[in-house]
Chains A and B, each alone.
Chain A
Amino acid sequence: MAMTKQALFTRTLLRGLVSIAVFLILWELGARSKQWLMLDAFEWLRSVLAAVGWDKKYLPWIGAVPAPTEVLKAWVAVLGEQGYWHSWYMSFFRVMGGFIAAMIIGIPFGLLLAVSRTAYGIGFPVFEVLRPIPPLAWVPASIIFWPTQELSITFVTFLGAFYTIVINVVGGAKSIDVRYFQAARSMGSSQWDIFRRIILPGTLPSIVVGSAVGMGITWEVVVAAEMISGGGSQIGGTSGGGLGFFIWNSYVGGSYEQIVVGMISIGIAGFLSSELLRALGKYVTPWLRLR
């Protein structure tokens, strides 16, 4: 049993590595050839496109993207810069700030909506009216509303995670099997006991899922908010703007390799925070960790 699992794991790992390697090679070749996937070799395709009135120049051109080797070079150069690491720090700081605030406010709020009919009646309509507004639409209002840029970016990040967490908590708590409540009540549980030992653990898996999704949204939002608000740092310049501003600044400065460096950095940052959350989630829900 353990053997086959081991074998399965290495095979999956191998496939993953091969797929990434193939991707990088294609990218490198494409970027170096300065052609769009060797379109010239596909004369017929070009004539088809021309026939429907589509000029070749309107096609995305991989030759314009820096090759992975060049990106790596730029990355190595930037690794020594304090500004790059500070961007990491700033984005992480904002994501964590917004995310943790969303957990601290969202989980109790969601639980309250789930257990109290009155709270649900009063709170949910407002929540539902505000929810469809995308967090990024809040950026200008947020900048006006909050005293510092830092707070306004964190607030928008908070919104990104908040709705998802609340929706998941409410849904999770409401879908707890009614027989658990019946069994608990039969055995003499008080309301508080039911909350603590049935509702809370019963909602935990949904909290974990909501947090994971919320974390993803948080990264999307923070990057965009940093770009829109110009980094919003007191330190100023590239150094304090976060990874989103790092990308924007690289674009403005014409350093295309750095754009890709920034993109991959965000990918890594998002992956790391998701993994951290996943590990934490597994830790708090040991009963789901069975296979």
Chain B
Amino acid sequence: MNQTETTKQKIDAGEIIVANMSKYYGAVQFHKDVVKDCSFAIERGKLTVMIGPSGCGKSTLIRLLAGFEKPSSGTITLNGHPITGPAHDRLVLFQETALFPWMTTYDNILYGPRARGEVTKETLDLAEFLLNKVGLQDFRRKYPMQLSGGMQRRAELARAMINNPQVMILDEPFRGLDAMTKELMWEYYSTLYEENRRTNFFVTTDIDEAIFLADRLLIMSNIPTQVRAVLEVDVPRPRKLTDIVENDRANEIKMEALSILHEEAMKSFSRGSKAAADFVEAYSRRVAKT
């Protein structure tokens, strides 16, 4: 990492505080609590990972953070100011690619600056820099459909970063990639974070992904979701996948996280949830393995 790379953007890291927030859908008989009295912080300049069982309400939480929907009660603040709607200080990478199919990689990346009428010499330079950074300089004129899954995710990272958001929000961004690409993306994304130390909020269901990436790990309960536990992942950076497998501290945190997740799954298993049953099965296999 050289000097020009790090100074390319002045990173302005933000902090999000969620306080006693609830979200339900539907009236009376269709009433469904998805988030209930949930509080947590996304600390400035840290990579916070949220892990929770499938269907517990993670994507719902993200829509609230992004400002696409409003909480039923409670508050969300960014740097102390309430969030009132979507804005480019909080950008989301969705569960599946949301690159505009009708725009080339280059046009996708420049979408934000063009939308706000902020296309200057510096922005164009930054676009070049980011294209290189995500390794897509030869794919600038390709359409999203012509890119592989990993390339699409990287193009989307660049499309978000050019707007210099205070918080980057990622909703299971690597789900659906093959195992190999996924691990490459972990290292890639982790390096990217280590370079700029932007505030990142990363949602996942994959414990290995969570441990490798996280500074702080939020473990969520089943639906209606709440934070069950917060673990500090005090494993030094920069991290390498090959090292972390043998890192005792990392494995210790992983076991602790798994036991909490297991407990949480058992609770809802006894309530007869199919998703939870799958979850217990999957994780007990994992625990047995390690």
C-alpha gap A160/B66 in the complex (Å) = 45
C-alpha gap A177/B100 in the complex (Å) = 10
Among A76-84, A183-191, A242-250, the stretch in contact with B? A183-191
Secondary structure class of chain A's binding surface, majority of residues: helix
Chain B residue nearest to A204 in the complex (CB): B102
B111 within 8 A of A: yes
- Which residues of the other chain, B, contact A190 by a CB distance below 8 angstroms? 115
C-alpha gap A180/B159 in the complex (Å) = 13
Q: How many B residues, CB 8 Å from partner?
A: 26
C-alpha gap A283/B90 in the complex (Å) = 36
Say how far B169's CB is from chain A's closest CB, in angstroms: 10
C-alpha gap A186/B115 in the complex (Å) = 10
Given A182-B66, A184-B111, residue A286 in contact with residue B143 (CB < 8 A): yes
Say yes or no: A189 contacts B100, CB within 8 Å.
Answer: no
Say yes or no: A290 contacts B92, CB within 8 Å.
Answer: no
C-alpha gap A182/B85 in the complex (Å) = 10
A285 within 8 A of B: yes
Q: Which residues of B77-120 are within 8 A (CB) of A?
A: 85-88, 90-92, 94, 98, 100-103, 111-112, 115-116
Secondary structure class of chain B's binding surface, majority of residues: loop
Say yes or no: B98 contacts A290, CB within 8 Å.
Answer: no
B163 within 8 A of A: yes
**Among candidates A179, A180, A188, A290, residue contacting B88 with C-beta atoms closer than 8 Å:** A188
Q: Which residues of A239-276 are within 8 A (CB) of B?
A: none
Say yes or no: B98 contacts A177, CB within 8 Å.
Answer: yes
Given A189-B115, A204-B102, residue A182 in contact with residue B86 (CB < 8 A): yes
C-alpha gap A201/B107 in the complex (Å) = 13
**Among candidates B67, B103, B111, B146, residue contacting A187 with C-beta atoms closer than 8 Å:** B111
Say yes or no: A285 contacts B116, CB within 8 Å.
Answer: no
- Which residues of the other chain, A, contact B86 by a CB distance below 8 angstroms? 182, 185-186
User: A-B pairs with the 7 shortest C-beta distances?
Assistant: A187-B112, A201-B102, A287-B143, A188-B116, A189-B115, A179-B98, A186-B86
List residues of A whose CB falls within 8 A of some B CB: 177, 179-180, 182-190, 193, 197-198, 201-202, 204, 285-287, 290
